[in-house]
Amino acid sequence: MRHRVAGKQLGRDSKHRKMMRRTMITQLFRYEQIKTTEAKAKSIRAQAEKMITLARNRGDADRLIDLAESGKAEKLNTLLTDAQARRLLREAEAGETDALEREARAIAVHAQRMVARDIHDREIVNKLFHEIAPRYLERPGGYTRMVKLGPRKGDAARMVQLSLVEEDV
């Protein structure tokens, strides 16, 4: 019995499943939309959204510095861990601009490394942090959209288009 076991197996062994998810997430960020089966799309959607949230919250060191210097503790606590927010606020209150900048850059680099564990293409990681994530600064979640396309011709598998949501201007 599979009680309380997270994730779909998708008929593959663990190594194949892990690499397939990495590849599909990379392709989603590269082309900003992919066509795949509904089961595969559902299995990667949460992981892709978590990566976008991480890049949005912790990827911009300059934004973190501005928030710390203006003393917005509640905003920093929602974006970062408690320890990270405390360190940034402590450095800002002490007036240590070099230490504040160093700490903010360390947080941003750590976020990039966490994403780079799954996305092995440095160009796509940079695109995620510098192009995709800034689009969603004011959006609290729901960065992807699934549109049902109908059955696939060969095996009647349910096909969907998974795409990144475009912000309304």
Residue 69 · residue 92 · CB < 8 Å: yes
| Structure confidence by residue, pLDDT tens digits, 137-146 | 999 999 999 9
**Domain coverage including residue 120:** 14-32+39-142
Contact between residue 100 and residue 92 where contact means Cβ atoms under 8 Å apart: yes
Pairing of strands 33-37, 144-151: unpaired
> Could you give the number of structural domains in the chain?
1
In a domain, 125, yes or no: yes
Given the structure tokens 């299995």, which residue do they identify?
A: 43
In a domain? residue 119: yes
Nearest of 150, 107, 119 to residue 26 by alpha carbon: 119
Residue 104 domain-assigned (yes or no): yes
Q: What is the pLDDT of residue 11?
A: 78
Helix (H, G, I), strand (E, B) or coil at 143: coil
132-161 mean pLDDT? 94
Distance of alpha carbon 157 from its chain centroid, rounded? 28
- 148 within a domain of the structure (yes/no): no
Residue 92 lies in a domain: yes
pLDDT > 90? residue 167: no
In a domain, 19, yes or no: yes
Residue 67 is part of a domain; what is its CATH number? 3.90.1030.10
Examine residue 132 and state whether it is found in any structural domain, yes or no. Answer: yes
Digit-coded pLDDT (tens) for 112-129: 999 999 999 999 999 999
Residues 26-81 have pLDDT tens digits of: 999 999 999 999 999 999 999 999 999 999 999 999 999 999 999 889 999 999 99
